[in-house]
């Protein structure tokens, strides 16, 4: 059990110490704030740091604990929130210049839940603009760097929330995952990140990128914290019509019990040509660990896997082209000072406010939806999406879960892929199919390669969130990868 | 060559739900202070999500049922993408390929005794949302104010097939549709205030042929009559073009009411590509047949059926029945009055008299006071009609009583009593006035005695004046004749 001085303490360990009076939320929050001030000029995980409100919230939490009215496992725990999740009264930029001065008047559903659970929000974390990217180099406010090697990317689009937890700037964080934006940075930063089943967590207040794929999820230093955070933010919300009406689950309670006899499929299509040898070795070793824990590991095939990337890059930009239409310079956010007419206001505000990757995807989406191309692109992509869903459903007739590498590579160097969008898009080849099918997927530390973390992805059927958490937890208990820390100070 | 017009109408109807289509804001935009009926959803703040208004769906289904449509088992919403400052999200949530209701018809009553009823097919009824209101202030150098209260108010669009053959038929269609919608109570259906907006598609073809010519869409008509006028103008314009061997351009034209012309607004080349795609924030909507059955059972009897029933039940003329049933509240009132008739009053005769009064003096007084003042209850109205029918009061007195009822809300009998308006029929009471009239008008008496029988009328008039209209003129005439005849012999 790590002690009070552990800069990488988990939420569940901190809770034990706080309940014993050996650690206060104020101590823990101050500690995160000091890490932030020591590391931010190198990492740039945050776009907004909420020092004074965090200390107030921490003090309030300490007062609750003293009076015996602590709210639960997240009470007093410092958390970072990706800056595409709305926070009332706190600037929320989505990493875009077009929203650089936007202050939402309302909290996202997940933020309401966190406030109700007593969590301490230490800041709004950096991200690729509108969550479009795989390296966090598309932030209008500058890139995030990887705590394991500041010359490398943290992954994206949730690079800020991932780096913050990896570097000890927050205990846990929230990200969003549209094609791998939680799992890939979790892998590259050596922490746990989970995309829940589509609809398990309300999207109300999440600035939309691709509505049918977006899902909010947790980052944590271990699977237990991940389950705690998921439990706090999941559950039906009537304000999100895609939110599932199911009874709330206790994810923490179902972590134990092992995986003896669990049938694990290994789809061979995920071991793609571009996979790095170190990643492959780590993955094969992870399979042996799962086997040694009693799982029945078996190779399988999902032939439609290589269609998923194409489907994604039609559907996601199509939805984005509409979702981003509201940023017109009239109501909020950047409004071009040079505009003389209403049409100028729209054209110039967007031209000045959006970055090049966002513009590229708006154009792609507009094209895919346009008259004469709709059938060939959008409609065909929807049809293939249905086939991919079906292929996964068939696989889950035979397997309880699928495991794959999270990313074909470890963290890559800043600037190494920015000139070639296609090579960047390939970073998400193992994570995108999960979003296409609306399934839960978790990435957890699964080895090291050349001193950099490797992620192991566990994919479950729809509503298999508790199941993949249990598999991840069993693996984590049998290994020590989750205890590896970056040496940044 | 002689041409015949082919006309189809698209009508937008604003639904009278208490809240907006996709949020819980009140929809009373017409009376509310500007920009006080807004929330994150209808302001299109980032991260806000739509939730379908169940009542609006019911209103759409009820309209579809009243128009003899087939109601979909599963329907869905789509995004209609275009940029305009009044469109908050940059897309309108509408319905594209799976509208809630399809394939209905409306029957227009015969225009005259020789004509036949004309059936107009309804292609579809779909749901969508209204946009904000823009108010231009000043001229070209002016500015524009925006009232977002109207953004998100529920609309349905009723699209006819091109089955209308003349401007007069188009006007009849609109009137019939308005009546139906008002009977259902789902909208005020008022063209002037914008809760009922009509666009027309019109083309010409050589008379007697079956094909369709190039169509022109005409917009901006804000009165029923304007639709007819615009169509007349457009038919004449197209006839001129074709007669000179010209070609009709496919375009959108606007009706300029004060100049009584249509002017080109947008050519085919400038037409929008709306890039429709399914709304990912709203799952497809399943419509339970039991729900539709319940709504079917709750539908009121509509004007055509009611007209026939009133004709057969009470022997009303088609003219009277049509007047009574044109507005649902009038027909309801009429039936309540007939229901409240005194025991023993013969239904048909009473109904005929009630219809005369309700279509006549009552309608005049009701229109004059414009919805203000006390209610004239059906019971009071019935008692007035009964007194008139029983000749207890004169026509003039009845009008006076009715005016008093509108003023004070008092009962008819009470007013008659209070004002002493009861007809004086007994000889004892009439005699002094009769004697007085005979004594004071020797000339008239002379005339009568010389055989000019009409002189009685003059004397009756004198009696009526002396009695302030209370004397029963029939009894008075009898008494006068009696007395004068006695002098003859």
Residue pLDDT, tens place only, A85-99? 999 999 999 999 999
Q: Is A373 on the interface with B (CB under 8 A)?
A: no
Contacts of A138 (CB under 8 A, 6+ apart): A95, A128, A129, A132, A156, A157, A355, A357, A358
How far is residue A442's CA from residue A446's CA, in Å, rounded to a whole number? 12
Query: In this structure, are B57 and B185 located in the same domain?
Result: yes
Query: In this structure, are B318 and B413 located in the same domain?
Result: yes
Residue A281 within any structural domain of the chain: no
Which residue, among B263, B237, B215, B238, has the nearest Cα to B10 in the 3D structure?
B215
Boundary-marking domain end, from B294, B327, B344: B294
Query: In this structure, are B355 and B281 located in the same domain?
Result: no
Domains of chain B: total: 3
pLDDT at B489: 62
Give the pLDDT band of residue B267 (cuts 50, 70, 90): confident
Query: In this structure, are B372 and B235 located in the same domain?
Result: no
Which residue, among B10, B7, B77, has the nearest Cα to B49 in the 3D structure?
B77
How far is residue B70's CA from residue B104's CA, in Å, rounded to a whole number? 7
Report the DSSP pairing between strands A172-177 and A215-220: antiparallel
Query: In this structure, are B101 and B146 located in the same domain?
Result: yes
Residue A109 within any structural domain of the chain: yes
Report the share of chain B in percent with pLDDT over 90.
61
Q: Is A328 on the interface with B (CB under 8 A)?
A: yes
Residue B427 has pLDDT above 80, yes or no: no
Q: Closest Cα of chain B to A262: distance in Å?
A: 33
Residue A213 within any structural domain of the chain: yes
Residue A1 has pLDDT above 50, yes or no: no
Q: Is A330 on the interface with B (CB under 8 A)?
A: yes
Residue A272 within any structural domain of the chain: no
Query: In this structure, are B244 and B310 located in the same domain?
Result: no
Angle between helical axes of B395-408 and B412-419 (0-180°, round to 10): 110
Give which of A89, A93, A111, A331 to mutate to test B binding, by max B Cβ within 10 Å: A331
B47:A208 CB<8 A: yes
Residue A105 within any structural domain of the chain: yes
Q: Which residues of A are catalytic?
A: 82, 157, 181
Boundary-marking domain end, from B401, B419, B437: B419
Q: What is the DSSP letter of B370?
A: T
Boundary-marking domain end, from B368, B390, B419: B419
Structural domain including A62 reads 11-257
Strand spans (E) along B241-290: 251-256, 261-267, 277-278, 285-286
What is the b/e burial string over B46-66, where b = at least 16 CB atoms within 10 angstroms of the residue's CB? bbbbbbbbebbbbbbbbbbbb
Neighbouring C-alpha atoms within 13 Å toward the C-beta of B217: 14
Which residue, among B447, B31, B137, B82, has the nearest Cα to B273 in the 3D structure?
B82
Tokens matching residue A274:
């571009």
Confirm if A397 and A134 have CB atoms less than 8 A apart. Answer: no
pLDDT at A2: 46
Residue A411 within any structural domain of the chain: no
Give the pLDDT band of residue A430 (cuts 50, 70, 90): very high
pLDDT at A65: 97
How far is residue B262's CA from residue B274's CA, in Å, rounded to a whole number? 25
Give which of B21, B41, B275 to mutate to test A binding, by max A Cβ within 10 Å: B275
pLDDT digits (tens, 9 = 90+) for B357-396: 998 888 888 888 877 777 889 999 998 898 888 888 878 8
Query: Could you tell me the CA-to-CA distances from B23 to A34, A79, B18 in Å, in that order?
Result: 43, 31, 11
Mean pLDDT of B392-421: 84
How far is residue A313's CA from residue A178's CA, in Å, rounded to a whole number? 11
Residue A3 has pLDDT above 60, yes or no: no
Tokens matching residue B454:
């009409």
Domains of chain A: total: 1
Query: Could you tell me the CA-to-CA distances from A207 to A44, A96, A176, B48, B84 in Å, in that order?
Result: 21, 11, 10, 8, 21
Residue A119 within any structural domain of the chain: yes
Which of B40, B90, B273 is opposite residue A322, by nearest beta carbon? B90
Query: In this structure, are B279 and B353 located in the same domain?
Result: no
Start-to-end Cα distance in chain B = 82
Confirm if B208 and B227 have CB atoms less than 8 A apart. Answer: no
- Which helix (H) or strand (E) element contains residue A182? none
How far is residue A483's CA from residue A8's CA, in Å, rounded to a whole number? 9
B88:A331 CB<8 A: yes
pLDDT at B433: 85
Confirm if B132 and B86 have CB atoms less than 8 A apart. Answer: yes
B-chain residues near A85 (CB < 8 A): 47
Query: In this structure, are B132 and B74 located in the same domain?
Result: yes
pLDDT at B430: 81
Query: In this structure, are B313 and B351 located in the same domain?
Result: yes
How far is residue A393's CA from residue A387's CA, in Å, rounded to a whole number? 10
By CB neighbour count within 10 A (0-12 exposed, 13-18 middle, 19+ buried), where does B223 fall? Answer: middle
Structural domain including B463 reads 427-488
Which residue, among A80, A74, A79, A63, has the nearest Cα to A15 in the 3D structure?
A74
Q: Is A332 on the interface with B (CB under 8 A)?
A: yes
Angle between helical axes of B289-298 and B54-66 (0-180°, round to 10): 70
Query: In this structure, are B127 and B252 located in the same domain?
Result: yes
Residue A322 has pLDDT above 50, yes or no: yes
Confirm if A115 and A79 have CB atoms less than 8 A apart. Answer: no
Query: In this structure, are B199 and B325 located in the same domain?
Result: no
B-chain residues near A342 (CB < 8 A): 85, 144
Query: In this structure, are B281 and B322 located in the same domain?
Result: no
How far is residue B192's CA from residue B69's CA, in Å, rounded to a whole number? 27
pLDDT at A66: 96
- The CATH number of the domain where A216 resides is what? 3.90.1300.10
The strand pairing partners of A298, in sequence order, are A265
């Amino acid at each position: 059990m790590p002690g009070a001085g552990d800069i990488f303490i988990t939420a569940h360990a901190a809770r034990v110490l706080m309940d014993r009076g050996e650690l206060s939320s104020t101590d823990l929050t101050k500690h995160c704030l000091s890490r932030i001030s020591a590391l931010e000029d190198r990492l740039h995980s945050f776009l907004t740091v909420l020092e004074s409100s965090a200390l107030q919230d921490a003090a309030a939490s300490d007062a609750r604990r003293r009076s015996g009215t602590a709210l639960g496992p997240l009470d007093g725990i410092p958390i970072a929130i990706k800056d595409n999740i709305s926070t009332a009264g706190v600037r929320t930029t989505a990493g875009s210049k077009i929203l650089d001065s936007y202050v939402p008047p309302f909290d996202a559903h997940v933020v309401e839940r966190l406030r109700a659970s007593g969590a301490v929000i230490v800041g709004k974390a950096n991200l690729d603009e509108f969550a479009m990217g795989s390296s966090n180099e598309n932030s209008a406010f500058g890139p995030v760097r990887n705590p394991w090697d500041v010359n490398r990317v943290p992954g994206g689009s949730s690079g800020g929330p991932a780096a913050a937890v990896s570097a000890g700037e927050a205990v846990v964080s929230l990200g969003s995952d549209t094609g791998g934006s939680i799992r890939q940075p979790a892998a590259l930063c050596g922490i746990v990140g989970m995309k829940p089943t589509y609809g398990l967590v309300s999207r109300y207040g999440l600035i939309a990128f691709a509505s049918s794929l977006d899902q909010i999820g947790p980052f944590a230093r271990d699977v237990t914290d991940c389950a705690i955070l998921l439990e706090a933010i999941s559950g039906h919300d009537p304000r999100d019509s895609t939110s599932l009406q199911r009874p709330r689950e206790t994810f923490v309670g179902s972590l134990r019990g092992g995986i003896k006899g669990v049938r694990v499929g290994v789809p061979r299509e995920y071991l793609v040509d571009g996979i790095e040898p170190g990643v492959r070795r780590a993955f094969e070793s992870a399979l042996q660990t799962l086997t040694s824990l009693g799982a029945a590991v078996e190779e399988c095939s999902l032939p439609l896997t290589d269609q998923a990337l194409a489907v994604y890059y039609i559907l996601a930009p199509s939805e984005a082209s509409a979702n981003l239409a509201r940023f017109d310079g009239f109501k909020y956010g950047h409004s071009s000072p040079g505009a003389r007419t209403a049409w100028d206001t729209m054209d110039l505000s967007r031209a000045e406010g959006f970055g090049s990757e966002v513009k590229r995807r708006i154009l792609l989406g507009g094209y895919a939806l346009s008259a004469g191309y709709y059938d060939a692109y959008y409609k065909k992509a929807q049809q293939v999406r249905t086939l991919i869903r079906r292929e996964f459903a068939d696989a889950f007739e035979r397997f309880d879960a699928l495991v794959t590498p999270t990313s074909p590579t470890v963290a890559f160097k800043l600037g190494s892929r920015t000139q070639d969008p296609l090579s960047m898009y390939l970073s998400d080849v193992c994570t995108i199919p999960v979003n296409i099918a609306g399934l839960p997927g978790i990435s957890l530390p699964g080895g090291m390669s050349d001193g950099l973390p490797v992620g192991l992805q566990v994919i479950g059927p729809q509503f298999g969130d508790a199941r993949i958490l249990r598999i991840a937890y069993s693996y984590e208990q049998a290994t020590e990868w989750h205890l590896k820390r970056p040496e940044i100070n | 060559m002689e041409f015949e017009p082919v006309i189809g109408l698209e009508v937008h109807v604003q639904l009278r739900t208490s809240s907006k289509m996709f949020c819980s804001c009140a929809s009373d935009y017409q009376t509310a202070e500007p920009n006080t009926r807004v929330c994150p959803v209808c302001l299109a703040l980032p991260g806000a999500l739509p939730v379908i208004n169940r009542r609006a769906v019911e209103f759409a289904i009820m309209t579809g049922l009243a128009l003899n449509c087939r109601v979909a088992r599963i329907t869905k919403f789509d995004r209609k993408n275009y940029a305009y400052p009044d469109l908050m999200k940059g897309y309108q949530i509408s319905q594209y390929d799976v509208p809630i209701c399809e394939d209905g018809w409306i029957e227009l009553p015969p225009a005259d005794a020789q004509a036949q009823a004309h059936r107009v097919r309804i292609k579809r009824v779909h749901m969508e949302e209204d946009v904000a209101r823009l108010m231009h202030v000043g001229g070209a150098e002016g500015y524009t104010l925006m009232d977002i209260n109207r953004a998100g108010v529920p609309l349905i669009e009723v699209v006819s097939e091109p089955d209308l053959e003349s401007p007069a038929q188009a006007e009849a269609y609109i009137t019939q549709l308005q009546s139906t919608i008002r009977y259902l109570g789902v909208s005020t259906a008022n063209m002037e205030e914008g809760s009922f907006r009509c666009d027309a598609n019109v083309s010409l073809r050589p008379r007697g042929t079956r094909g369709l010519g190039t169509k022109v869409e005409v917009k901006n008509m804000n009165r029923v009559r304007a639709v007819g006028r615009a169509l007349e103008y457009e038919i004449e314009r197209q006839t001129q073009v074709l007669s000179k061997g010209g070609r009709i351009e496919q375009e959108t034209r606007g009706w300029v009411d004060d100049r009584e012309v249509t002017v080109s607004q947008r050519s085919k080349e400038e037409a929008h590509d709306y890039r429709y795609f399914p709304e990912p924030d709203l799952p497809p909507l399943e419509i339970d047949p039991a729900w539709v059955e319940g709504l079917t059972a709750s539908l009121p009897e509509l004007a055509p059926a009611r007209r026939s029933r009133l004709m057969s039940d009470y022997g009303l003329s088609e003219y009277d029945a049509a007047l009574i049933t044109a507005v649902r509240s009038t027909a309801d009132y009429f039936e309540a009055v007939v229901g409240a008739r005194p025991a023993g009053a013969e239904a048909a005769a009473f109904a005929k008299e009630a219809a005369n009064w309700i279509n006549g003096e009552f309608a005049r007084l009701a229109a004059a006071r414009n919805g203000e003042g006390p209610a004239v209850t059906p019971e009071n109205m019935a008692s007035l009609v009964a007194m008139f029918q029983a000749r207890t009061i004169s026509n003039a007195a009845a009008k006076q009583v009715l005016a008093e009822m509108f003023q004070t809300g008092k009962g008819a009998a009470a007013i008659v009593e209070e004002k002493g308006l009861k007809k004086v029929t007994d000889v004892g009471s009439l005699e002094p006035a009769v004697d007085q009239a005979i004594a004071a008008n020797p000339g008239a008496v002379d005339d009568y005695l010389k055989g000019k029988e009409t002189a009685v009328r003059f004397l009756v008039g004198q009696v009526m004046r002396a009695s302030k209209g209370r004397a029963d003129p029939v009894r008075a005439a009898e008494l006068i004749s009696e007395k004068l005849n006695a002098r003859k012999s």
